[in-house]
Amino acid sequence: MARVIRESVSDTIANRLSDPRIQGIVSVTEVDISPDLRNADVFLSIMATDEKHRRRTLQGIQHAERHIQARLGKKMTSKFCPRLHFYEDTKLSKTLETLRLIDIAAEEFRAGEDQTETDTEGEQD
Protein backbone atom coordinates (compact mmCIF):
# COMPACT_ATOMS: atom_id res chain seq x y z
CA MET A 1 0.00 0.00 0.00
CA ALA A 2 2.88 2.40 0.78
CA ARG A 3 4.26 1.80 -2.71
CA VAL A 4 0.92 2.66 -4.35
CA ILE A 5 0.67 5.83 -2.26
CA ARG A 6 4.26 6.81 -3.08
CA GLU A 7 3.76 6.31 -6.82
CA SER A 8 0.37 8.05 -6.95
CA VAL A 9 1.50 11.06 -4.91
CA SER A 10 4.73 11.38 -6.92
CA ASP A 11 2.85 11.26 -10.21
CA THR A 12 0.23 13.75 -9.05
CA ILE A 13 2.80 16.26 -7.78
CA ALA A 14 5.02 15.95 -10.85
CA ASN A 15 2.35 15.86 -13.55
CA ARG A 16 -1.05 16.96 -12.27
CA LEU A 17 -0.53 20.09 -10.17
CA SER A 18 -0.17 23.54 -11.67
CA ASP A 19 0.27 25.58 -8.49
CA PRO A 20 2.97 28.22 -9.09
CA ARG A 21 4.12 27.84 -5.47
CA ILE A 22 5.43 24.35 -6.27
CA GLN A 23 8.99 24.82 -7.50
CA GLY A 24 12.10 22.69 -7.64
CA ILE A 25 12.31 18.94 -7.48
CA VAL A 26 9.92 17.14 -5.15
CA SER A 27 10.24 13.45 -4.35
CA VAL A 28 8.37 11.23 -1.94
CA THR A 29 11.00 9.75 0.36
CA GLU A 30 8.86 7.83 2.83
CA VAL A 31 5.26 6.85 3.51
CA ASP A 32 4.22 5.77 7.02
CA ILE A 33 0.77 4.21 7.20
CA SER A 34 -1.08 3.96 10.51
CA PRO A 35 -1.96 0.43 11.69
CA ASP A 36 -5.67 1.05 11.05
CA LEU A 37 -4.87 2.19 7.47
CA ARG A 38 -6.83 5.42 7.98
CA ASN A 39 -3.89 7.86 7.87
CA ALA A 40 -0.61 8.07 5.99
CA ASP A 41 2.26 10.42 6.68
CA VAL A 42 3.95 11.33 3.41
CA PHE A 43 7.49 12.71 3.69
CA LEU A 44 8.73 14.87 0.84
CA SER A 45 12.25 15.83 -0.11
CA ILE A 46 12.05 19.28 -1.66
CA MET A 47 15.05 20.52 -3.61
CA ALA A 48 14.47 24.23 -4.07
CA THR A 49 16.71 27.25 -4.39
CA ASP A 50 16.24 28.34 -0.77
CA GLU A 51 14.27 27.83 2.44
CA LYS A 52 11.51 30.24 1.37
CA HIS A 53 10.83 28.28 -1.85
CA ARG A 54 10.88 24.97 0.06
CA ARG A 55 8.25 26.27 2.50
CA ARG A 56 6.10 27.66 -0.33
CA THR A 57 6.34 24.37 -2.22
CA LEU A 58 5.24 22.40 0.86
CA GLN A 59 2.36 24.85 1.39
CA GLY A 60 1.28 24.41 -2.23
CA ILE A 61 1.30 20.63 -1.88
CA GLN A 62 -0.60 20.79 1.42
CA HIS A 63 -3.12 23.10 -0.25
CA ALA A 64 -3.62 20.49 -3.01
CA GLU A 65 -4.10 17.71 -0.43
CA ARG A 66 -7.73 17.03 -1.43
CA HIS A 67 -6.85 16.80 -5.12
CA ILE A 68 -3.95 14.42 -4.38
CA GLN A 69 -6.23 12.43 -2.05
CA ALA A 70 -8.93 12.13 -4.74
CA ARG A 71 -6.45 10.87 -7.35
CA LEU A 72 -5.09 8.34 -4.85
CA GLY A 73 -8.63 7.14 -4.05
CA LYS A 74 -9.16 6.26 -7.72
CA LYS A 75 -6.05 4.07 -7.70
CA MET A 76 -6.65 2.28 -4.39
CA THR A 77 -8.27 -1.13 -4.43
CA SER A 78 -8.61 -1.49 -0.66
CA LYS A 79 -11.72 -0.67 1.34
CA PHE A 80 -10.13 2.42 2.86
CA CYS A 81 -8.05 5.17 1.34
CA PRO A 82 -5.79 6.64 4.00
CA ARG A 83 -5.96 10.35 4.69
CA LEU A 84 -2.70 11.93 3.60
CA HIS A 85 -0.60 14.25 5.76
CA PHE A 86 2.39 15.92 4.12
CA TYR A 87 5.67 16.75 5.85
CA GLU A 88 9.05 17.89 4.64
CA ASP A 89 11.72 15.23 5.02
CA THR A 90 14.75 17.04 6.39
CA LYS A 91 17.00 13.98 6.60
CA LEU A 92 18.58 14.59 3.20
CA SER A 93 19.30 18.27 3.83
CA LYS A 94 20.73 17.47 7.26
CA THR A 95 22.93 14.76 5.74
CA LEU A 96 24.18 17.15 3.06
CA GLU A 97 24.91 19.82 5.68
CA THR A 98 26.81 17.27 7.80
CA LEU A 99 28.88 16.23 4.78
CA ARG A 100 29.59 19.88 3.99
CA LEU A 101 30.81 20.48 7.56
CA ILE A 102 33.00 17.37 7.40
CA ASP A 103 34.56 18.66 4.17
CA ILE A 104 35.28 22.03 5.81
CA ALA A 105 36.81 20.36 8.87
CA ALA A 106 38.94 18.06 6.69
CA GLU A 107 40.16 21.03 4.65
CA GLU A 108 41.08 22.92 7.83
CA PHE A 109 42.86 19.84 9.15
CA ARG A 110 44.87 19.48 5.93
CA ALA A 111 45.73 23.20 5.99
CA GLY A 112 46.90 22.84 9.60
CA GLU A 113 49.09 19.85 8.69
CA ASP A 114 50.63 21.78 5.79
CA GLN A 115 51.38 24.70 8.12
CA THR A 116 52.97 22.35 10.69
CA GLU A 117 55.17 20.78 8.01
CA THR A 118 56.24 24.24 6.81
CA ASP A 119 57.08 25.30 10.39
CA THR A 120 59.04 22.09 11.02
CA GLU A 121 61.05 22.51 7.80
CA GLY A 122 61.86 26.12 8.74
CA GLU A 123 63.24 25.04 12.13
CA GLN A 124 65.53 22.43 10.55
CA ASP A 125 67.32 24.99 8.31
CATH at 73: 3.30.300.20
Nearest to 3 by CA among 65, 77, 70: 77
Q: Are residues 65 and 109 in the same domain?
A: no
pTM (predicted TM-score): 0.76
Q: Work out the average pLDDT over 21-48.
A: 94
Q: Are residues 12 and 68 in the same domain?
A: yes
Q: Looking at the predicted structure, is the pLDDT value of residue 103 above 70?
A: yes
Q: Are residues 95 and 125 in the same domain?
A: yes
Average pLDDT, the chain: 90
- Per the structure, the count of domains in the chain is 2
Q: Are residues 73 and 104 in the same domain?
A: no
Angstrom CA distances, 11 to 38, 50, 87, stand at 21, 24, 17
Q: Are residues 14 and 62 in the same domain?
A: yes
Domain span including residue 103: 90-125
